[in-house]
């Protein structure tokens, strides 16, 4: 019992350190791939993981928090260098680091089209990230990213057809599918209202 409590406390400490690490790593980022995004993915992942007691919550939590730490759109790193550096600094076991990096590698939508992670941890974190690309937050992130990269509104709207409206049917877990239904409907309502307001006279 004492050992379990010590391990739980240590896990909590590493998770808190990961939150602080990404806060510094993404400081000043304003394109929707910020620390707040990673925190929401972590929260989504924890919410989903409750339904899957067989999932390793430590792997889920750290992979969710660090999933963008080596995003190719933001960093010029290889082999999850930023994530690995942090995890090593926290004395995370090498075998656990490999599992976390494997999960992170399965998150990117563009790099994993049509691919489903093999592990329950991978499925949970992939779903958690995709949920944050949907609904009101997904809409806000789309236009934040588009604005930062000089895209006109119509180009950002194309992103709905290219990605966002596809996500509902690509969820891995039942809980994520349930959450995605609500967010998908919100996006459809937004697009309908946008089109109504943008009608040419």
Question: CA 58, CA 64: separation in Å to the nearest integer?
Answer: 10
CATH T-level assignment (fold) for domain 2-197: Hypothetical protein af1432 (1.10.3210)
Environment class of 143 (CB within 10 Å of its CB; exposed 0-12, middle 13-18, buried 19+): middle
Taking only the tens of pLDDT, the chain with its 201 residues reads 545 658 888 889 999 999 999 999 999 888 888 999 999 999 999 999 999 999 999 999 999 999 999 998 889 999 999 999 999 999 999 999 999 999 999 998 878 877 899 999 999 999 999 999 999 999 999 999 999 889 999 999 999 999 999 999 999 999 999 999 999 999 999 999 999 999 876
Paired tokens of 7: 């391990």
* Stated pTM of the model: 0.93
Paired tokens of 103: 């999960």
Which residue ranges make up each domain of the chain?
2-197
Paired tokens of 131: 């949920």
Q: Distance from CA of residue 8 to its chain's centroid?
A: 24
């Amino acid at each position: 019992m004492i050992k379990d409590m010590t391990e739980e406390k240590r896990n909590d400490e590493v998770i808190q350190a990961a939150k602080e690490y990404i806060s510094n790593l993404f400081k000043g980022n304003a394109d929707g791939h910020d620390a707040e995004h990673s925190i929401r993915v972590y929260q989504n992942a924890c919410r989903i993981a409750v339904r899957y007691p067989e999932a390793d919550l430590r792997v889920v939590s750290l992979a969710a928090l660090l999933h963008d730490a080596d995003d190719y759109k933001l960093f010029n790193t290889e082999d999850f260098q930023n994530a690995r550096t942090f995890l090593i600094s926290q004395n995370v076991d090498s075998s656990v680091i490999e599992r976390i990096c494997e999960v992170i590698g399965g998150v990117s939508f563009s790099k994993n089209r049509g691919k489903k992670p093999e592990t329950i941890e991978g499925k949970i974190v992939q779903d958690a990230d995709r949920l944050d690309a949907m609904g009101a937050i997904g809409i806000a992130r789309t236009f934040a990213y588009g604005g930062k990269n000089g895209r006109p509104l119509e180009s950002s709207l194309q992103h709905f057809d290219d990605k966002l409206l596809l996500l509902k049917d690509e969820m891995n877990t039942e809980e994520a599918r349930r959450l995605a239904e609500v967010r998908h409907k919100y996006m459809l309502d937004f697009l309908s209202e946008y089109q109504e307001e943008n009608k040419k006279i």
